[in-house]
């Protein structure tokens, strides 16, 4: 009988835990966390609500365009221009939304392993307890987008989505605001020219659009800031994540873990970490390179994809260049934490 072939760890890796075992194959990616909740139909209700909020003002928008720009002003060219601009932005919104609804990407990079889904956990990867899997360069979990996680692959499409909503809101607010202003101005001169319904639709649309601009515009501004400093939402709001990047601490003279854990830190040490978090930006390599990591492209006419639906971020999402100054700042933070431990 022929000898049995040796086990090839690159084909299948089976990991055992106290409660369950999960297989991992590099062709299909890590398995889902068995303890994670299964996604039900009601998880898609916020997505349906978001689509309804986008489409709800369309009847009023058409009424304003037809009644004011076509019947009153009798300017069909302007009417067609407003239609093209508004529905082009609407098309771009739904293009990026469809891209966000696509399945999660799988990966098989070596390195750390997630103890929840028992899959590989590259740098900047986080486990989502709701989705039950690790997400490359996870930014946040969004219930409004079908309970999906926004990560390395979907982040540009997400930014494209909220930017197009903001631009559409600005456009509708300006057009409807000017239409209402002109309608009331004409009504003061000749009340018989006043159409009671058009100003009502215009005021509703202007207010509706301004609310969207304030909410989505500020949200986009925050994420644009994160892009320029090369941070995710999780990294920006979780200062204690930098503890895992500290250099090795001295083996004696303190009771801290290596790396230190957040619960064992004193109040003074927590303050040191929060203060250091403002200056230690591990992946900030300059705003231009930071911008290229999200919006850059490697193929000809890659900018078309960016304008169409946002596309996906370049690179594999597993490794990122480091800020050369971060190592020195991390070493200083480690020293300050140990000194504070001596004083306790």
In the chain, which ranges are continuous DSSP H helix? 45-55, 58-64, 76-100, 155-189, 197-229, 233-237, 267-279, 287-295, 302-308, 326-343
**High-pLDDT (> 70) share of the chain, %:** 81
In the three-class reduction of DSSP (H, G, I as helix; E, B as strand; rest coil), residue 93 is classed as: helix
Q: What is the pLDDT, as a whole number, of residue 255?
A: 79
Supply the pTM of this predicted model: 0.84
In the three-class reduction of DSSP (H, G, I as helix; E, B as strand; rest coil), residue 196 is classed as: coil
Q: What is the pLDDT, as a whole number, of residue 194?
A: 60
Q: What is the pLDDT, as a whole number, of residue 344?
A: 64
Residues of the chain with pLDDT under 70: 1-37, 103-112, 116-120, 186-194, 252-253, 344
Q: What is the pLDDT, as a whole number, of residue 60?
A: 94
- Exposed, middle or buried by CB within 10 Å (0-12, 13-18, 19+), for 162? buried
Q: What is the pLDDT, as a whole number, of residue 193?
A: 60
CA 143, 148, 153 angle in degrees (round to 5)?
140
Asked, as a colleague might, if the bond just before 99 is cis with ω within 30 of 0, I would say no
């Amino acid at each position: 009988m022929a000898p049995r072939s040796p086990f090839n760890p690159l084909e299948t890796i089976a990991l055992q835990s106290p409660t369950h075992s999960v297989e991992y194959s590099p062709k299909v990616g890590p398995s889902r966390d068995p303890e994670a909740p299964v996604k039900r139909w009601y998880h898609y209700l916020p997505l349906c609500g978001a689509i309804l909020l986008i489409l709800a003002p369309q009847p009023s928008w058409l009424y304003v365009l037809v009644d004011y720009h076509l019947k009153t002003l009798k300017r069909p060219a302007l009417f067609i221009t407003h239609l093209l601009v508004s529905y082009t932005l609407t098309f771009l919104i739904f293009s990026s939304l469809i891209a966000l609804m696509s399945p999660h990407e799988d990966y098989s990079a070596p390195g750390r392993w997630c103890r929840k889904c028992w899959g590989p956990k590259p740098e900047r990867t986080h486990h989502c307890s709701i989705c039950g899997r690790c997400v490359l360069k996870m930014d946040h979990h969004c219930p409004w987008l079908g309970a999906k996680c926004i990560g390395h692959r979907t982040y540009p499409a997400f930014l494209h989505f909220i930017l197009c909503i903001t631009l559409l809101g600005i456009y509708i607010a300006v057009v409807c605001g000017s239409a209402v202003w002109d309608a009331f101005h004409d009504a003061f001169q000749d009340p018989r020219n006043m159409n009671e319904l058009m100003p009502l639709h215009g005021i509703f649309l202007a207010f509706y659009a301004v609310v969207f601009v304030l909410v989505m515009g500020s949200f986009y501004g925050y994420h644009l800031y994160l892009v320029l400093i090369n941070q995710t939402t999780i990294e920006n709001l979780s200062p204690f994540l930098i503890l895992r990047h500290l250099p090795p601490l001295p083996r004696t003279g303190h009771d801290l873990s290596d790396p230190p854990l957040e619960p064992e830190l004193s109040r003074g040490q927590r303050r040191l970490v929060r203060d250091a978090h403002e200056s230690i930006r591990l992946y900030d390599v300059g705003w231009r390179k930071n911008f290229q990591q999200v919006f850059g492209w490697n193929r000809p006419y890659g900018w078309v994809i960016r304008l169409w639906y946002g596309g996906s971020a370049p690179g594999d999402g597993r490794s990122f260049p480091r800020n050369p100054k971060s190592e020195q700042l991390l070493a200083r933070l480690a020293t300050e934490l140990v000194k504070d431990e001596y004083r306790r």
